[in-house]
Amino acid sequence: MRQTLSIQNMSLDLQTSYSSLHRQLKATHILLRGSSRRQQRLSLDSLPNELLIHIFSFLELKPYLISRGVCKKWQVLLPLADLHPIRWRMLDLYHRMLQAPEFVETRPWILENLRPFDRQAYIDGLLAQHSTAIPEEFRLWILEWPAKMAIFGIWPGLPMVRFPHRTVRMPSGVNWMAYDTPLLQALVYDKGSLDPKENLTPALLVWRTSEYTRWLLFDEEEPELFGRVLEIAFPDCPSFYPTKSELLNYDYDPFEIHDYDDWIVFLEDQWERCLLTTAKVPDTTITNQEVTAVDLPLSYTFGHLLPTNFPSPPWIDRHAPRFLQDIAEYTLD
C-alpha cells in the first residue's frame, strides 16, 4: 500500500515538475523570441549608412516608394542609392505627375476602370512571340509602374474601348495595349531586301485613332529601331515605317512621324500632352453611351485606318502566303 502511494506521489511530482518545466521553457522561448526581434530591429537601424544605401540600390520601384515612409533617416539615404537608371527616370516621372496641379483631374476614369492583370504573364507572352529581347524601359514599366499612375489611358489593365474625343482624362482612340493577349505585329520597314519576308520588324501596337498609329519596336537586330516608339500618320498605310533617307525624298504627302528614343521618353511626352489638354480642352465628362466597347475577335486589313482593325499581320504568322502577298503588293514609288 505504501509502495503504491509512493509511486502515485512520484507520478504527481513528475507531472508537476514537467508542467513547471514546460511553463518555464515556454516563457523562455517567448522572451528569447522577443529579444531576437528587438535585436533584428536594432541591427537594421545600426547598419552603417553605406551598407543601407547599397541595399536600397536593389529595390524595385514600389518597395522604394514605400520605404520613403519608414523613417526620416531612410528618406535622406534613399536618394543616395545607386538605382537602375531606368528606375530613376520612372521615379522622376512619378514625382512630376504627383506635383502637377492637374494630376487629380486626370485620375477619375482611370481609377474607376482599372482591372488587375498578370504582369509577368504579359512579358512572357511577348517573349513567346519574339524570344530575343524586350526593350528594358518597357519591361520595367510593365513590371513595376503603379497602375493608378497610368498616363493618358495607356495601360494593359484598362479596358479596350474607343473614346470618341479627347478630354482631360482620356485621349481619343483605342488602347491597343488592353488587347486580350499582348500581340506583336509585323511592321513593314525597308531593309533593302528584295524578299518581302526580310523587310519586316516586330512591333507592339500601343494606340490607334483614324489619324495616327503608335508602335513600340522590338527589332533587336536593328539598333536604330530597337526600343523606339513611333507615332505614324499617313493617308495610305499606318503599317509602313520608311527609312530616314526615304523620308527626305518625298515631295508630296510626306509622312508625319513623331519618333521617340525609348518608352520613357514617349511616356514623358504623353504626360506633357495630357497637361496641355487639361489647359486647352474643357473637362467634358465621358458618358458610357459615348465610350464604345471593342468587340473581339478583331478583323485584319493590311494598312487599314479604322482604329479597331489589325493594320498588320501577327508577327508569328508573318510568313503566311496571304500576309506576304499583302506586303509585297504595297510599294512606294
Strands 173-175 and 200-208: antiparallel
Query: pTM for this one?
Result: 0.79
Q: How far apart are CA 108 and CA 96, in angstroms?
A: 19
Summary count for the chain: helices (H), strands (E): 11, 9
DSSP labels for 190-259? --S-SSGGGSEEEEEEEEE-SS-EEEEE--TTSTTTTT-EEEEE-SS-TTEE--HHHHHT--SS--EEEE
Residue-level pLDDT at 246: 42
Domains in the chain: boundaries: 17-80, 85-329
Type of residue at 94:
Y
pLDDT in tens, 160-193: 988 877 776 677 889 999 998 899 999 888 777 7
Q: For 192-232, how does the pLDDT look when each residue is reduced to its tens digit (9 = 90+)?
A: 777 778 888 899 999 988 888 899 999 888 888 899 998 88
3-state secondary structure of 163: strand
Q: Read off the pLDDT of residues 100-152 as tens digits, 9 standing for 90 and up.
A: 998 998 899 899 999 999 999 999 999 999 877 899 999 999 999 999 999 98
Contacts of 10 (CB under 8 A, 6+ apart): none
H/E stretch holding 26 reads helix 2-45
Nearest residue to 149 via CA among 267, 298, 40: 267
pLDDT of residue 100: 93
Is residue 187 within 8 A of residue 234, CB to CB? The reply is no
Alpha-carbon distance of 105 to 275, in angstroms, equals: 10
CA distance 309 to 225: 24
Rounded Cα distance between 149 and 45, Å, is 32
DSSP assignment letter at 2? H
> Is-contact 267 146, C-beta < 8 A?
no
What residue type is 188 in one-letter code? V
Q: What is the pLDDT of residue 72?
A: 86
Report residue 248 as a C-alpha cell. Answer: 527626305
Length of the chain: 333
Q: Which residues pair with 186 in a beta bridge?
A: 202
